[in-house]
Structure 1
Amino acid sequence: MLPIKLHAANHRYVKIALLLFVVLLLMSNTGMSMKLPAYPTAKKGVLDLRSAAMNEKIPLNGEWLFYWQQLLAEGDKASHPNIVEFPSLWNSGHKINGRELPAFGYASYRLTVLLPKKHGDLRLTVPDVYSAYALYVNGKQVATNGKVSRSDEGFEPYWQYKTIDFGQNADTLNLVLEIANFVHSKGGITKPLYIGDREVVRLDRQQDEAIDLLLTGCLIMGGLFFFGLYLFGNRDRAILLFSLYVLVYSYRIIGIDNYVLHTIIPNMDWYIAVRLEYLTLFVGIGLFGLYSRYLYPLDINGPTLNVIAVVCFAFALASLVLSPYYFTQLINPFLVLMMFCLIYIPSVYLIAFRRKRPGSIYALSSSIALMFVFAISLFHYWGFLPQLQVLTFIGYVSFFFLQSLVLSHRVSFVLKNAQQQAEQGLKAKTEFLSTMSHEIRTPLNSVIGMSHLMLKNDPRPDQREHLDVIIFSANNLLGIVNDILDYNKIEAGKITFERIEMDLLAIARNVVNSLQTSANDKGITLKLVGDEQLKSKLIGDPIRISQVITNLVHNAIKFTPSGFVEVSITVQRQTDTNITVKVAVKDTGIGISADKQDLIFERFTQADSSTSRGFGGTGLGLAISKRILELQNSSLELISAEGKGSVFYFVQTFQKVVNTLPEITEKNKLPQQGMPFAGIDLLLVEDNPLNVMVAQTFLKKWGAGIDVAVNGEEALQKLDVNKHKLVLMDLHMPVMDGYQAAKAMRNKGVTLPIIALTANLPDEVKQEIADAGIDGIVVKPFLPDELYGKVWHHLFK
């Protein structure tokens, strides 16, 4: 008994698995043996096949004459023979003069085969023996494996399948089989010789070889696949151990029993082959045990598997360092370990199945298939069953296929969890960025608003310069926040594009005008070149087009120390309904080397790490522009030479608006003089004192009367529909937020315009604002003109 104790909770499952195992053994033994035909057997060294049908493979089993320590074909005088059952090992119960025979020695087996008078071409098959033989038929040597000798000098072991053909004239075969063994712990032969129709025997062997080769190929490819999955996947040890087990076990298919590998590689060294045969057996069982441990670690008893692994790898080490005589004796105790594993591992899978572990149903099914295969193998090893290779093949394929399903289910389960975690992470990131945007925009609103207020109070020239720096820096910070949010939105696939009328030339002109000061400060020329063929409005998203052009022009100004930046719009082709234009931004800046031109389009990346220190920026502008264009079936292209400047351009096709552009005239300006809101009372709902001060200062300057509420609940109490003409509502407030307050007002029948004041981007709150009944939105930080224009529009529209 092995010193292994089962966990108490496992006993019931072990009993169930043992019952299944016994049932499979009985099925494989009785069910298959009933199909085996009854062949004639030899009697006292004579096998009479004269009345047998030779169109089948007939085993030459029965009573053979046995001559211990005699090589009859080599001149030894035949003494009184012993009658032995063939095939059998001579050191398994054979006695001569009351003495059991040792494993080392040599002997001759003799049989006379009487054939029918009429038969076709015959073929005799000779299997491997322990561990060298010479076969003589009618006094002529017809097959050898290794070299037979009377001592270990000159003796050579070898295992290989051999065949001998006979013509139609043969009527009697006198067989003498000389066997010698001086290396293995077993002596003699355990597999029968067969004789039968040549074609039948040939096809049967081809079938055996084909099955072995096919199964070996499947195992090697499957093992390499799972090994690659481990290397390039999540480094799951269960996958690694299964891949190693499959690769190791593939040798068990091609390298033993039929010895197909020896046919492929003739003269393969016997000592290497026998070590591989036992090594793969010991290591294979150990790897499978460890694989099961990592597959279901919570359902298996760790110390039990540790003992199994230690025993297996100790036996494997013995097969490497000991002589074959010693390590081949380990097979019987190892079979005890195998029997235990065949009971214990299915019990573990049964526990995993009861606990609903991923893929456990496939693991349990595979263990049943493996038990069936091993039942056939063990009974074949003990001589109770023929090889039954087709059934073994089906069992092996079922086992490895089901185990592959286990790992596939495991990988799928891991990927599904990873996907869920990624989605949760993306959601958390989006919420975090949205919160950070709100928290950054809120104080920026105060910074920018107060700076504009101070600029309108006729500051001294030095104060004006300082205020300009504050506004410039605040706007830069706002631009960085916007870039990060835009890229996050693009990555999440939440970006949308409008399809409205737009004036592309006017958009480009506004971009150039807005950045003209930045160009003048650096002493470079910024100009716009428009194509006279562009006379129609286009259908597109003016905000996104403006964003792309602004990014390109801003980058060009930033990286151009001297010279010029030119924005050009060129019509490439047009029809009555569509027009294709090329928008290019050319500069005389630092340029980009050829090896860095792909790199600059990556997020958070600039061509040179020193660039960010010299010119600033997050490296998101070009990445955002590139993705915006790609989502509109266009692409951002680059022509550049280091030190000579760059040209960024894109070509895009737009749908035309039929109307021709009117002559450009000065827009009607909103009245800015005096106090246009005099006599108008507004309700400002805002919890941030600084934002209250900024908005209140601007609105009072324009003549409006202001009542302030610090949350939605207070706003409902202070609202007077007979007094107030408009509500400015912050969305994020304590007690009651702006959405709830607006809904409550609408539910009470309030029809006053409600304008949201929020640090969120419009797209983020568009649906919520519509649901709450809010009429408009002003995004913090807001410019005075933006707030003025929005209030004017809703008061006097």
Structure 2
Amino acid sequence: MQKRRFSDKTLKILSHYLLSLLAILLVGCSAHTPQNQKPEYPLAQQGVLDLRAVEFNQQLIPLNGSWKWYWKTLLNPGERPPRFEYGNFPELWSTQTWNDQPLPSYGYATYSLTVLLPPSAPPLALKLPDIFTAYRLFVNDRELTRSGTPGTTPETTTPFWSTQVKSIPPTSDTLRLLLQVANFHHSKGGSNQTIFLGSADVLQVAADREYALDYLLTGCLFMGGLFFLGLFLFGRHETSLLYFSLFCLLYSYRIVGSDDYALHALFETASWSLLVHLEYLSLFISITVFVLYTNSLYPTDVNRHVIRLLTGICLAFTAATLLLPPVYFTRLINPFLGLMPIYIGYAFHVYWLAARRKRPGANYSLMSTGVLLAVFIIIILKYFQIAIPEDIVLFLGYIGFFFLQSLVLSYRFAFTLRQAKEQAEEGLRAKNEFLSTISHEIRTPLNAIIGLNHLMLQDNPRPDQRQHLDVMLFSANNLLHIVNDILDFNRFEAGKITLEAVPMDPARILQNVVATFQPVAREKSLSLQLSIDPRFTPKVIGDPNRLAQVVSNLVENAIKFTEQGQVTVSLTVDKQQPETSTLTFAVVDTGIGIAPEKQQLIFNQFTQVDSSLSRTYGGTGMGLAISRKILQVQQVELKLQSEPKKGSRFYFTQRFPRAAAPGPEPKENKLISGDKPLHGITILLVEDNAMNVLLAKNILSKLGASVDVANNGQEAVDMLDSSRHRLILMDLQMPVMDGYEATRIIRRRNETLPIIALTASLAQEVGDRVNDAGLDEILVKPYNPGSLARVILKHLKLAG
């Protein structure tokens, strides 16, 4: 049913366009036809055309009828006329007789006509078509114009085709026309097109309009061809783009190189043989390319054998044009025009199938084929002088066809881009899910490693054991730092970074950062110093975690690339106002430095100054890129001053709103002081990982709490006893029932005890789901004993 509705809609649209084109065709072609030359226009009778009763206003008078003509004679003005006959003009020689004998298409002849004019005729002009294949026209015994040079032999004849408008010099009330015609190079001889007489101004305006339309259409097709060729070369290498661009470029020559021969008017000395070869080749090759274009556009809807046959026929015509002289290959045009309905009909069939099968842009292809069919009907009618449409009709037809075909490619291009966008978004979602899963899987074992490490450090280990534990803790934190960097970078790419705006003390943050990196600096025998401007007052609003992250990355980077000397972290007050404080943070080292041409390179992700540094110093190369992105989100620029072998200075200046009160004290990674602060408290621990259960039980036991363990959410729901349990530590990702669903069920039972989420996922990723489920707070793994104790005491209101 869906396909039926689609087909009906397509038929309706197509019928609308075809009916519109048919209307244009009927109106345009009925403008003037050889059989309907306005009955009031007289015809020439026995070499005389009486126009004395005709008013020359906007009318074009065809000089058709019975002319005197002289076969095998090139009669010049003043010469005594030999024997003549009366013959119809225009008419090809192959359809005429002389002495009742049929004539060939090769030879020469002269035509004569006397035109009687009204005494008040305006300035007049003649519109002369191309006549096979050379002619010379005399008016009142003077040569008015010529196209090529007619002669009595092939050697003395120079063929050329052109359409001309020639003004007639002021004369009496009589025009004596003498037209010499010769053909030895074409399969047709004589004339099959009308010569028109009319007002010089009207004819010249009409000719200029015809040429203007031809040049405009040629320019549109040529530029369109170049555009699609550029898309193919520099964008998507899709063969349909290439074939359509070649079709546009080839057919653009047809517009100016045939019919009105606008191009010949610019190159009057060009070789006729070359021009006629180009005229025929541009037709045969363009149709070949169009067949290939259709094949590449909808390859699953064409019949390969039919495509090969149609292409082979076109190539055979092309080969004949290249190998044979014009007198032979010009015979091919009529058979080729006879084949055109087959080509167009098959294209219509292919596009119809594509439309039914909902191929991208097939509707436009179908409509364009209908336009093309109408255009070729007009061309064939005009070629065989059955109808002479207005030039604007063909112009609109060509514009409609190429516009619709451009829509096909544009639609396909947009469709492909949309698919690529969807695939990219799907890939980004898959990447985010993968990184989230990897983060969870890495953080889960790290939680046990780091937590147990902290517990072991609090058990007064031997000095050698403490050294090993410090190394282990440093390595685990380093791994956690790398994981955090990857996830941060991914969030920046996805545009999901969030910033806090809370009271903070930048000086205390710098002190903590320096204290954290002091052991690393001591290991390398470096001096790590902190300089705080004494004018600074610790009352600003910002994101303490992001500030700490940026400075930590800069300090870590400075220590990594400094082998001797010192690293200095400084905070300088640039401007302090009642509402804002402008501060400059800087990290200065005496390390290897960076060459000027490579200073921007180091801010790229996964990049160091050269590949050897990654082997010498290690690292992912993301720290500076992440720091820069964090600052860019806040409209702050990370700057660099550096000199090779002397050191570097990374700094940024940021304006902060001032806070009414100092920021909170920074959190310390030590166990809360006090003797068993959770004594008598029973906590329900919901966790499916045995190592994390061991860690949490050890921490809580040291705090004096009793612990009941549930391995999944369903067990937690069943085990919960609000008369015993004061708080729940809830893992979120568990088998059977996850922490979200378990929490929702508990809250629906009107339980109000605190439920703390313990998760290896990032808070930004699960925050909304945690709040919706009814959990009170998130503690991200890996956590240390102090963090766990603080969050429990906070919610039990036992802190202090």
TM-score range, shorter chain: over 0.9
**Structure-1 residue corresponding to 2:468:** 466
Shift of 1:164: 3.1
Post-superposition CA distance 1:75-101 (Å, at most 9, x none): 98644323322122212x223345432
**Structure-2 residue corresponding to 1:85:** 88
Shift of 1:689: 0.9
**Structure-1 residue corresponding to 2:720:** 719
Are the counterparts in 1 of residues 165 and 203 from structure 2 also a CA contact under 8 Å? Answer: no
Q: Which amino acid aligns with 2:766?
A: V
1:181 aligns with 2:183: yes
Within 5 Å, give how 1:256-275 maps onto structure 2. 256-275=258-277
Are the counterparts in 2 of residues 142 and 164 from structure 1 also a CA contact under 8 Å? Answer: yes
Q: SS of the residue aligned with 1:708? A: strand
Q: Which moved more, 1:653-662 or 1:107-116?
A: 653-662
Separation in structure 2 between the aligned mates of residue 442 and residue 660 of structure 1, nearest angstrom: 35
Separation in structure 1 between the aligned mates of residue 669 and residue 217 of structure 2, nearest angstrom: 85
Q: SS of the residue aligned with 2:539? A: strand
Separation in structure 1 between the aligned mates of residue 660 and residue 636 of structure 2, nearest angstrom: 23
1:27 aligns with 2:29: no
Separation in structure 2 between the aligned mates of residue 715 and residue 668 of structure 1, nearest angstrom: 29
Within 5 Å, give how 1:23-102 maps onto structure 2. 27=26, 31-33=30-32, 37-38=38-39, 39-55=41-57, 56-73=59-76, 78-91=81-94, 93-102=95-104
Shift of the 25–452 alpha-carbon distance from structure 1 to 2, 3 Å rule, reads: closer
Are the counterparts in 1 of residues 669 and 786 from structure 2 also a CA contact under 8 Å? Answer: no
Shift of the 265–642 alpha-carbon distance from structure 1 to 2, 3 Å rule, reads: farther
Q: Which amino acid aligns with 1:419?
A: K
Q: Which moved more, 1:748-757 or 1:388-397?
A: 748-757
Shift of the 375–588 alpha-carbon distance from structure 1 to 2, 3 Å rule, reads: same
Residue among 196, 200, 203 paired with 1:201: 203
Within 5 Å, give how 1:606-685 maps onto structure 2. 606-659=608-661, 671-672=672-673, 674-685=675-686
Shift of 1:232: 2.9
Shift of 1:730: 1.1
Shift of 1:25: 9.9
Alignment gaps of 5+ in structure 2: 1-6
Shift of the 526–37 alpha-carbon distance from structure 1 to 2, 3 Å rule, reads: farther
Post-superposition CA distance 1:294-318 (Å, at most 9, x none): 2233333332222212211221232
TM-score, normalization: structure 1?
0.93
Residue among 430, 455, 462 paired with 2:457: 455
Shift of the 272–80 alpha-carbon distance from structure 1 to 2, 3 Å rule, reads: same
Q: Which amino acid aligns with 1:136?
A: F
Shift of 1:433: 0.6
Q: SS of the residue aligned with 2:477? A: helix
Post-superposition CA distance 1:603-648 (Å, at most 9, x none): 1111111111111111111111111111111111111122221111
Alignment gaps of 5+ in structure 1: 1-8
Q: Which moved more, 1:273-282 or 1:78-87?
A: 78-87
**Structure-1 residue corresponding to 2:192:** 190
Q: Which amino acid aligns with 1:675?
A: K
Shift of 1:446: 2.0
Q: SS of the residue aligned with 2:91? A: coil
**Structure-1 residue corresponding to 2:119:** 117
Separation in structure 1 between the aligned mates of residue 250 and residue 572 of structure 2, nearest angstrom: 68
Are the counterparts in 2 of residues 681 and 726 from structure 1 also a CA contact under 8 Å? Answer: yes
**Structure-2 residue corresponding to 1:598:** 600
Separation in structure 1 between the aligned mates of residue 37 and residue 662 of structure 2, nearest angstrom: 96
Q: Which amino acid aligns with 2:272?
A: W
1:246 aligns with 2:245: no
Q: Which amino acid aligns with 2:375?
A: V
Shift of 1:562: 1.2
Q: Which amino acid aligns with 1:741?
A: A
1:211 aligns with 2:213: yes
Separation in structure 2 between the aligned mates of residue 24 and residue 305 of structure 1, nearest angstrom: 32
Q: SS of the residue aligned with 2:191? A: coil
Separation in structure 1 between the aligned mates of residue 160 and residue 32 of structure 2, nearest angstrom: 31
TM-score, normalization: structure 2?
0.93
Are the counterparts in 2 of residues 560 and 589 from structure 1 also a CA contact under 8 Å? Answer: yes
Are the counterparts in 1 of residues 374 and 397 from structure 2 also a CA contact under 8 Å? Answer: yes
Are the counterparts in 2 of residues 134 and 143 from structure 1 also a CA contact under 8 Å? Answer: yes
Residue among 540, 543, 565 paired with 2:542: 540
Shift of the 76–470 alpha-carbon distance from structure 1 to 2, 3 Å rule, reads: farther
Separation in structure 2 between the aligned mates of residue 776 and residue 192 of structure 1, nearest angstrom: 93
1:502 aligns with 2:501: no
**Structure-2 residue corresponding to 1:527:** 529
Shift of the 143–661 alpha-carbon distance from structure 1 to 2, 3 Å rule, reads: closer
Are the counterparts in 1 of residues 42 and 49 from structure 2 also a CA contact under 8 Å? Answer: yes
**Structure-2 residue corresponding to 1:765:** 766
**Structure-1 residue corresponding to 2:732:** 731
Q: SS of the residue aligned with 1:110? A: strand
Shift of 1:733: 0.7
Are the counterparts in 2 of residues 25 and 372 from structure 1 also a CA contact under 8 Å? Answer: no
Post-superposition CA distance 1:574-613 (Å, at most 9, x none): 3221222211111111111122111111111111111111
Shift of the 701–433 alpha-carbon distance from structure 1 to 2, 3 Å rule, reads: same
Q: Which amino acid aligns with 1:27?
A: L
**Structure-1 residue corresponding to 2:303:** 301
Shift of the 668–174 alpha-carbon distance from structure 1 to 2, 3 Å rule, reads: closer
Post-superposition CA distance 1:116-175 (Å, at most 9, x none): 222121112322221111212233222122222211123221122334322443322222
Post-superposition CA distance 1:347-405 (Å, at most 9, x none): 33333333333323322222222222222211110012225101111111122222222
Residue among 351, 354, 377 paired with 1:352: 354
Q: Which amino acid aligns with 2:739?
A: G
Separation in structure 2 between the aligned mates of residue 99 and residue 623 of structure 1, nearest angstrom: 93
**Structure-2 residue corresponding to 1:374:** 376
Q: SS of the residue aligned with 2:358? A: coil
Post-superposition CA distance 1:693-720 (Å, at most 9, x none): 1221222223222221111111222222
Are the counterparts in 1 of residues 503 and 539 from structure 2 also a CA contact under 8 Å? Answer: yes
Residue among 226, 247, 264 paired with 2:228: 226
Q: SS of the residue aligned with 1:653? A: strand
Instruction: Output the aligned Cα RMSD.
Output: 2.7
Separation in structure 1 between the aligned mates of residue 579 and residue 704 of structure 2, nearest angstrom: 49
Separation in structure 1 between the aligned mates of residue 368 and residue 450 of structure 2, nearest angstrom: 70
1:741 aligns with 2:742: yes
Separation in structure 2 between the aligned mates of residue 380 and residue 610 of structure 1, nearest angstrom: 75
Q: SS of the residue aligned with 2:416? A: helix
Q: Which amino acid aligns with 1:620?
A: M
Shift of 1:253: 0.9
Q: Which moved more, 1:602-611 or 1:93-102?
A: 93-102
Shift of 1:465: 2.2
Are the counterparts in 2 of residues 683 and 719 from structure 1 also a CA contact under 8 Å? Answer: yes
Q: Which amino acid aligns with 2:488?
A: D
Within 5 Å, give how 1:565-580 maps onto structure 2. 565-580=567-582
Q: SS of the residue aligned with 2:231? A: helix
Separation in structure 2 between the aligned mates of residue 168 and residue 274 of structure 1, nearest angstrom: 36
Q: SS of the residue aligned with 2:209? A: helix
Post-superposition CA distance 1:480-532 (Å, at most 9, x none): 11011011111111111111111111111111111111111111111121122
Are the counterparts in 2 of residues 24 and 371 from structure 1 also a CA contact under 8 Å? Answer: no
Separation in structure 2 between the aligned mates of residue 200 and residue 742 of structure 1, nearest angstrom: 90
Q: Which amino acid aligns with 1:705?
A: S
Q: Which amino acid aligns with 2:26?
A: M
Q: Which amino acid aligns with 2:581?
A: I
Shift of the 502–26 alpha-carbon distance from structure 1 to 2, 3 Å rule, reads: closer
**Structure-2 residue corresponding to 1:285:** 287
1:431 aligns with 2:427: no
**Structure-2 residue corresponding to 1:492:** 494
Are the counterparts in 2 of residues 536 and 658 from structure 1 also a CA contact under 8 Å? Answer: no
Q: SS of the residue aligned with 1:73? A: coil
Separation in structure 2 between the aligned mates of residue 460 and residue 513 of structure 1, nearest angstrom: 23
Q: SS of the residue aligned with 1:526? A: strand
Shift of the 22–307 alpha-carbon distance from structure 1 to 2, 3 Å rule, reads: farther
Q: Which amino acid aligns with 1:472?
A: F
Shift of the 618–43 alpha-carbon distance from structure 1 to 2, 3 Å rule, reads: same
